[in-house]
Structure 1
Amino acid sequence: MIKKILRWLILGGTLFFLATALKNNWQGIADIRIDAAGWAIIAIATGVTLLAHTWAGWVWIWIFKNLKQPVPSSQFIYVYLKTNIAKYLPGNVGHYYGRIMAAKNANVSTGAATLSVLLEPLLMAAAALIIVLVGSLFVKTNTSLTVQIAQILGLAVVLCVLHPQFLNPLIRLLYRLKAKKSNTNTTSAVDLSMQSYPLKPLLGELGFLGLRGIGFVLTLYALSSLNLSQIPLLLGAFSFAWLLGLVVPGAPGGLGVFEATAIALLQNHFPEAVIISATGIYRLVSILSETAGATLAWLDERLFK
């Protein structure tokens, strides 16, 4: 009951914030014009975002290899792309369920299949935190030495938490939460244990977040001029907004939460109407790239099987 109330409060607060921002900046948004070069940049942003999702499929394969479960690369990239769009369904677990079933059908052990879809969002979250912490060190602010030391220590903590000694209990907790959320049985003798540090998959997820961030920066660049000095700020703000969209309950695919967070973080650095427009367009870019990825994977399987 409390969880449902929390979800409705988050949804209501997010919608209220976005509606207020739209109302206060409607004229500025209406005055924005995108020229031919801008549309070309948005098309490039869509391609980069599609590349990011395809790359994430490769990283998923690396996770299996880290778990000593080699899988067919092209088949599992197709599975990843086809199931990716299901994250917008209520519950936000449909894409995980589809990937587990596909892995089990490919004779992957139940433990490895389950662990792969639990480890992926954890590594994505860790990658987002790393980008936020590293990016903040390059943003020109009047932060004290104490804050900078705290940021470096935070980065060290994130890297240490990914050690199997700390990560395995977190994975088991996440499994119980997701199993409860999807009303599945949590009894089995599924072995949810990492045996080695997931360095390669972590680097892969950093690449995924980097590509997603580039897509967002390009979308903003299509609407407004940017300086190179603003890139760390934009990547850090994007990563933090994306992270909240990943972890906040009641937001399938981060809908609303990502946009509200990005606007709140960047409204003092860019014209608010531009930020609102950029986040809205980037959501369309994301959905279009995910839909294109799923469609192309489906077509390729049937035309070149």
Structure 2
Amino acid sequence: MIDGTVEEIADMQTHSSSVVAVKAAEALLALTEREYPTVEEYVRTLERNSHALRRANPSHASLQTTQREIVSTVEDAEDDSVAAAKERTRDVVEDVVARVESAKERAAERAVEYLREDPAILTHDYSSTVLEAIERTVDDGASLDVYCTEARPRYLGRKMVRTLADLDGVDAHLIVDGAAGHFLPEVDQVVVGMDCIVKDTLYNRVGTYPLAATADDAGVPVRVVGAEAKMVTGGFAFENEHRQASEVIREPADGFAVENPAYDATPTRLLDAAVTDETVHEY
């Protein structure tokens, strides 16, 4: 299960950062079903597998922090039996998963008032928190007009728009990334998720920065939605991921380099607000 989850995260089959954190945490539970001669061997195995999960996507702050919390909780307890260490692992994983999911739900609920007030939306990539906010808004009886970028090169925005198309109350539109500027005059706001905000920089799916910059020029507010735990003040250095050229071009790249970063950096001065489970940060 660990290897499969590592591969799934690395291939961006699982991509929403909160979902990644939950799946990675739950993957560690597979270790509690095996036998170990000593507590020390169990803890070493836990750390080794957690390290593999963290390396699968170094950019996800929530993945990094939740994995480190799980391992440090078990290490610091210094349990006197393997059974006790396993039980502690199950308890901390359950706690971590509950907090991640609860934070996503509260952030989505806080975002509903913004979606109701400005119902024509442009979103980028796939965010489970933005999706939940939209679902809650239409469940309350509102109607939304939502434009989704494809989110090149992995096209995760297509997954977002297909999901939205099944919701009553949502009029969904798929647009290519480069057409965002053309459609910005048609929308009230840009709403995206966030991998993390480190000091004065939002790190999110590549394409977020030009979208935010164009929206700023067009006078369209940009809001991000996510857990307060993704607002990082220290102890985390964002590490971008440069993905395979085959995601961009299928034929051989003869005589030229193919650059394929997974994320970009958006100055928070281009944002109007970050809506989290705890508060609204205005910029």
Task: Compute the TM-score of the two structures, normalised by the length of structure 2.
Answer: 0.27
Give the helix-richer structure, 1 or 2.
Answer: 1
Give the strand-richer structure, 1 or 2.
Answer: 2
Q: Which has the higher contact order (CA 8 A, sep 6+)?
A: 1
Task: Compute the TM-score of the two structures, normalised by the length of structure 1.
Answer: 0.26
